[in-house]
Amino acid sequence: MITDRGHRVVVTGMDIVSPVGHGVSATWDAISGGVSGITNVTRCETDDLETRFAGEVSGFDPETRIERKLVRRMDRFSWYAVGTALGAVEDAGLTMADLDQTRVAVIIGTAMGGIETIEAGAMTIHQKGPRRLSPFFVPMLLPNMAAGNVAIALGAQGSNFAPTSACASSAHALGEAMRLIQRGDADVVIAGGSEAPIARLAIAGFNAMGALSTRNDDPTGASRPFDLDRDGFVMGEGAATLVLESFAHARSRGARPLAELAGYGSTDDANHIVQPAPGGVGAARAMSLALADAGLAPNQIGYVNAHGTSTRLNEELETLALRRVFDERLPALPVSSTKSMTGHLLGAAGAVEAVISIKAMETGCLPPTINYQTPDPACDLDVIPNQARKLAVDAVMSNSLGFGGHNVSLIFTRLGSLDDEPAGSA
C-alpha cells in the first residue's frame, strides 16, 4: 500500500465509442435509459457459429479523425483508440503544443489486440500465399499499437505501453497511469482501453470454452448479469479514453475536473487460468487495497460497477468478494453491471465502465442491470434491476477481473472546484 501518494490525480477529459453510442453523452443517455446495444453480428459470417450476436459498434467512420492512408495501416482496435484519445484530449481542453510533450504519457490496454488482422492474414496466406501478406500485418496486430498510434497522433513523448491482462487490461491502464503521475513521472496521461474482437476466430474460440451466451433468438435479452437464468457473456467492442492529470497541473491551466481517481488496487488469484479464486478472496483484496489507497471506509462507497459478465461462476464469486469487503452493508449497497447493455468489451471494459461510473457520480443517476428477471439466491445484491435509480453519491468503485486471475478495483471520488485543493495534494 502506498502511504505517501504524492500527486493527486484528476480526470479532466473523457471520450467513448461503444455498442450503445458514440461519445460520452450518447453512451450515457443509453446506459442510464437501460438501452441494449446487442444485435445480430454483421461484421462476419456467423451461420455456422453457436453465437450469432454481439455488441457491435455501428456507424463509426475512422476517417473523421484519422488520415485515410493511416486508417488502412491500423487494425480496428487502433481506430477506436485514436478516435477516443483525440476526443478525450479535446474534452479536456488540452492543446498539445502548450504542454511539455515529454511529460505526456499514453497507456492503452487491450486483451485481443488486432485479432481481425490476424484472422484476415491467416486467410490471405491460405488462399493467396505468403507473398500477398501486407507489410503492415505485424504492426497492425500488435497489442501495443493502439498506444503507439495514439502517441503518434498526439505527439506524446512520455512513457508509452499497453497492459494486456485480459478483461482487466484497461483498468490496469488507468491504475498505472495514476501511479505514473503520483511518482512525478508524468504531468498528463492519456489512458484507457480498446477492443475490436468481433471476428469469427474470437467468437468460435469463446464458444469452444462454453463462455458465450447462445440466446440467438433474443440478442437484447442475452446479457443478464446476476440473473438465475444467465447462460454466458455477450462479446462487445469499442473503446474509452480518459485524460488524467496531476491536481497541480490541472489547476495551473484552469481545467474542469470531472472526478478524482483516488484509489487503485491490483491483485492476482494465482488459482486457475479462467476460474476466480474460491471465496472471491483475490477480488476482495483488490477492493480492500483500493479503499486503503483512497483513504476511504467501505461505507463511504455509494455505488459499485461490478465486473458482472453474465456468467454463473464469475458472479457468484464476485458476490462473495463484495460480501467480504462490505459485510453487513452489502444488501443496501447499489451494485449494477452495465455489461447487460454494452456486452463485455474485454480489455476495454474497465475504461468504459470507469467513464460510466464517473457519469453516475456526476449526474446522481445509478445505471441499471437490465434483463434481470429471476433473482439468483447466490447473488443476493441490490443490482438496480432494470431501471436507473436517482441517488447522489460521492464515491464509486469499478471492478474488473480477467482470465489469468487478474483483479483490479478503481475508486473515483467527487471533486469540486480546483480552487479548493484537497489536503495533502501536490
3-state secondary structure labels for all residues of 321-390: HHHHHHHHHHHHCEEECCHHHHCECHHHHHHHHHHHHHHHHHHCEECCECCCCCECCCCCCECCECCCEE
Active site residues: 167, 307, 344
Domain 9-252, CATH class in plain words: alpha beta
pLDDT at 415: 82
Grid-cell match 480518459, residue found: 242
pLDDT digits (tens, 9 = 90+) for 210-249: 999 999 999 999 999 999 999 999 999 999 999 999 999 9
- Is pLDDT of 3 > 50? no
pLDDT digits (tens, 9 = 90+) for 319-361: 999 999 999 999 999 999 999 999 999 999 999 999 999 999 9
| Number of CB atoms found within 10 A of residue 316's CB | 16
pLDDT digits (tens, 9 = 90+) for 286-325: 999 999 999 999 999 999 999 999 999 999 999 999 999 9
φ/ψ of 413, rounded to 5, equals -125, 155
- Is pLDDT of 1 > 80? no
Q: How far is CA 37 from the centre of its chain?
A: 16
pLDDT at 256: 86
Could you tell me what percent of the chain has a pLDDT over 90? 94
* Averaged pLDDT, 385-391: 98
pLDDT digits (tens, 9 = 90+) for 405-415: 999 999 999 98
**Lowest model confidence (mean pLDDT) among 168-172, 275-279, 281-285:** 275-279
Alpha carbon distance 280, 164 (integer Å) = 22
Domain 266-413, CATH class in plain words: alpha beta
What b/e readout covers 72-95, taking b as 16+ CB neighbours within 10 angstroms?
A: ebbbbbbbbbbbbbbbbbebbebe
Q: Are strands 365-366 and 335-336 parallel, antiparallel or unpaired?
A: unpaired
Domain with CATH 3.40.47.10 in the chain: 9-252, 266-413
- Sequence length of the chain is 426
For residue 189, give every residue at least 6 positions away whose Cβ sits within 8 Å of its Cβ, in sequence order, or none: 104, 105, 106, 107, 158, 177, 180, 181, 243, 244, 245
122-128: long-range contacts, CB 8 A cutoff, minimum separation 24: none
Residue with the larger pLDDT of the pair 328 and 422: 328
